[in-house]
Amino acid sequence: MLVLALDTASPTVSVALHDGTSVLASVTGADAMHHGEQLAPAIARALAEAGRAMGDVTAVATGVGPGPFTGLRVGVVTARTLGASLGVPVHGVCSLDVVAEQARAEGRDGTFAVATDARRKEVYWAAYETAGDRVRRTSGPQVARAADVAALLGGDVPVIGRGADLYADDLARGEGPSDPDAGVLAALVASGRADVVEPEPMYLRRPDAVPPGARKRAS
């Protein structure tokens, strides 16, 4: 087994390879954003570091967000095209689940939430609870203002992720990872513990566009 995992739902591009036992290589983009530029070289580097070839890949996993659309699409179209080209399955996983799983693996227990940056003073968020070696999503993903998420969760539910870092005044920020790590995503998929969905972006927002109104006068 060789799972190629990638996530582009956060400002940081993350790529990893997992052989069913452990993470063989993990590459993180050097700068924030520029997903379109950084993703393909990161995949090439991960393969080189692991000493594997593209033909060895048996499955592709991709974070499907929610996240800023343009970067997110770079990851999803890359995963779909690789899957179709290599003739291997493509597994989509909610990127917030990946952050939650890492928090669990690092020792977080009980009820918590994950929030990431949705821009426009909003966060993408979901609530989780741990159950043995798994995390279970109990609500979300949704997009909302941080203060509204706090009101919904109640004051004592810790929130982890970049959204909690950004809105520490509104949310009860807890210790944990900021962004999805493709190594964690790869392990989730390789172990069969992922809540797998179609490789389809979780946009959660409609495109910003309104049909034109009455014509503006030129004179």
**Strand (E) or helix (H) holding 163:** helix 162-166
Q: Show the DSSP H helices in 106-157 as ranges.
A: 146-153
Burial of 93 (0-12, 13-18, 19+ CB in 10 A): buried
Q: Which stretch binds another protein (CB under 8 A): 70-78, 123-131, 146-154, 164-172?
A: 70-78
Strands 90-93 and 14-18: unpaired
Q: Of 69, 105, 145, 204, which lies in the binding site for another protein, with binding defined by CB under 8 A? A: 69
Q: Which is nearer to another protein, 39 or 115 (CB)?
A: 39
Which amino acid is present at 55?
A: G
User: Does 209 interact with another protein (rule: CB under 8 A)?
Assistant: yes
User: Does 52 interact with another protein (rule: CB under 8 A)?
Assistant: no
User: Does 211 interact with another protein (rule: CB under 8 A)?
Assistant: yes
Q: Which is nearer to another protein, 78 or 130 (CB)?
A: 78
What's the closest the beta carbon of residue 121 comes to another protein, in angstroms?
19
What's the closest the beta carbon of residue 102 comes to another protein, in angstroms?
25
Determine contact, residues 163/171, Cβ cutoff 8 Å: yes
